[in-house]
Amino acid sequence: MPDPDDNSTRTRLLDAAAEMFYAEGVSVGVDALCRTAGVSKRSMYQLFGSKDELLAASLERSVPGYLAALLPTPETPADPVEQMLHVFRQLEGVVADPQFRGCPYVGVATEVKAPEHPVRVVARRFHDQLTEFFRDAALRAGATDPGLLSQQLTIVHDGTTARAVVQGGPTPGLALATASALLFAGGVIHDDART
């Protein structure tokens, strides 16, 4: 039996949970999760207490990686408009992946109906982090209303991921064009700078 304090047991469970919850939905059973992770149910309950806590922990662990795939890197130009548009260029790549099954945070927030469930808290925190990034950049870019623009751009993120799922395919150019239109309407870019 694996040692429940063993980091690799924990990691194997988090890996299995991340993959299976995303690919199959939150109704995946504990038996299947433990079988895939190669971990006993007893170890799972010792480490996480419940399936819900395992789900929340695996979702939380994924946030930095998901955000890193979208947010500017040191190579991205420092210009705040470029930094905001970077997110939507990246997003089009994310949704074009054949394994893409929707934004994991919106998906789980929709599937888990209790608003105070730990995974709902993780989803809200992800959302707030993304909006906060947009707000800071919009402020630096001189937006008329940075708070409004940041919420609008978050809507474009969520709506683009929804579209890719519903239509079952990528959204070439659409996220970028929509974000550009909102940056234009928000007083940040001029018409001739629209991509």
User: Which parts of this chain interact with a copy of itself (CB under 8 A)?
Assistant: 23-27, 101-103, 105-107, 109-111, 113, 115, 120, 123-124, 127, 148, 151-152, 154-163, 165-168, 174, 177-178, 180-182, 184-186, 194
Residue nearer to a copy of itself on the CB measure, 83 or 161:
161
Residue nearer to a copy of itself on the CB measure, 6 or 145:
145
CA distance 24 to 168: 16
Question: Shortest approach of a copy of itself to residue 57 CB, angstroms?
Answer: 19
- 16-to-20, 54, 168, 190 alpha-carbon distances in Å: 6, 10, 25, 47
121 with 127: CB under 8 angstroms? no
CA distance 81 to 15: 35
Residue nearer to a copy of itself on the CB measure, 25 or 38:
25
Question: Shortest approach of a copy of itself to residue 87 CB, angstroms?
Answer: 14
Question: Shortest approach of a copy of itself to residue 40 CB, angstroms?
Answer: 25
Using the CB atoms, write b or e for 34-67: b if 16+ within 10 Å. bebbebeeebbbebbeebeebbbbbbbebbeebe
Chain center to CA of 95: 11
Question: Shortest approach of a copy of itself to residue 162 CB, angstroms?
Answer: 4
Angle, alpha carbons 116-128-98 (nearest 5°): 90
Question: Shortest approach of a copy of itself to residue 140 CB, angstroms?
Answer: 20
Residue nearer to a copy of itself on the CB measure, 27 or 73:
27
Residue nearer to a copy of itself on the CB measure, 47 or 109:
109
